[in-house]
Structure 1
Amino acid sequence: MRVLGVDPGLTRCGIAVVDGGTGRSVRCVAVDVVRTPADAELANRLLAVADALEDWLDRHRPDVVAIERVFSQHNVRTAMGTAQAAGVVALAAARRGLTVAFHTPSEVKAAVTGSGRADKAQVTAMVTRLLGLTEAPRPADAADALALGICHIWRAPMRARLAEAEAKATELARRHKARLAQATSNSPKGTKQ
């Protein structure tokens, strides 16, 4: 499985491609950070993110795009920019028919470090170790994009099994309700005395 991981942002948007092999083996294919100037118009900044993403999609042909889910932050303006960048990424992937998966920051941290409360240094250190990199990816946005790719590769099989189990449970519940309705309609109404 090839995953394009994206740590969305307007000033710095981390982007990485990670390949998953048998078991839990992962390999870094490419990593970078898309930067846009803070004083540029919003539309132009989003266009720069979109153009860079299109280029990565063309070059690396991922199977899925994993994006960090945006949570409210203290700075509403930053949260809005992050959400807008994430939307641009999701749109570009959807236009190509790619699956888009959103992962929470704590889910990514837990997958990579074992703790959903790990700090950026811990995430960077584990990403470096897991991928066998000779040096740590910088800035943290690059490491976060790699962590998203790893998280998705490791969690996708579990998510697929859960979705399959939920679908089976829904179908069983539907059949059970249909049998109950059938049994109720076939039962005698009772006799008058």
Structure 2
Amino acid sequence: MRILGIDPGSRITGYGVIATNGHEIGFIACGTIRTGDETDFSRRLLTIFRDLNEVIRIHQPTVAAVEDIFIDRNPRSALKLGHARGAAVVAALHNNLEVHDYPARQVKQTVAGYGQAEKIQVQHMVRTLLQLSSTPSRDAADALAVAICHAHQHAYGRWGRSA
């Protein structure tokens, strides 16, 4: 199974693709979609949608796992994050991928063993678990962590909520 992990953001959306074979996981690709230079928010959403379509076309995942939104102190930021997440989910569904949602706390618990782990801890554990030669960016590491979380849930028969 190939899993596309997505860490949505209105300026930077992380993505990571892993392959699983039973309990084994392997790294395929990761990166970020950057929309920060675009001033029109609607165009940012279009960039997320288009670029994720391209990632899906190239890497052919069989399922998508997306980090669920958290409630931010700033409602406007949370709303933008929700829109970015929506663009990512629509891209996955547009490509006939089943989508599973995972809260950040569950992702961190699965990857780092602590639900309130810092981003640097998540980066370190992703690098270790996938035996990477270098540390991925924070957003790419978060996306890979979401994919790893889904692989773990799938291996042990517990699925995240489907979108």
- TM-score in terms of structure 2 length: 0.92
* Aligned-residue identity in percent: 36
Residue identity opposite 2:67 in structure 1: E
Measured after TM superposition, the shift of residue 148 of structure 1 is 0.6
**Inter-partner Cα distance in structure 1 for 2:32 and 2:75:** 22
**Inter-partner Cα distance in structure 1 for 2:37 and 2:71:** 20
Matches within 5 A, 1:1-193: 1-23=1-23, 25-37=24-36, 40-138=39-137, 140-157=138-155, 158-159=157-158
Deviations 1:52-74 (A, max 9, x none): 00101111111111000001101
**Inter-partner Cα distance in structure 1 for 2:40 and 2:117:** 34
Deviations 1:119-172 (A, max 9, x none): 11110100000000111111x111100101100011124225x99xxxxxxxxx
- TM-score in terms of structure 1 length: 0.79
Query: Matched residue of 2:18: which SS?
Result: strand
Measured after TM superposition, the shift of residue 79 of structure 1 is 1.3
Measured after TM superposition, the shift of residue 118 of structure 1 is 0.8
**Inter-partner Cα distance in structure 2 for 1:59 and 1:38:** 25
**Inter-partner Cα distance in structure 2 for 1:112 and 1:80:** 27
Moved runs in structure 1, 4+ residues, more than 6 A? none
**Inter-partner Cα distance in structure 2 for 1:65 and 1:129:** 22
Which structure 2 residue ranges, 5 or more long, are not aligned? none
How many residue pairs end up in the alignment? 160
Partner of 1:185: none
**Inter-partner Cα distance in structure 1 for 2:48 and 2:96:** 19
What RMSD, in angstroms, separates the aligned Cα atoms of the two structures? Answer: 1.7
Higher share in strand: 2
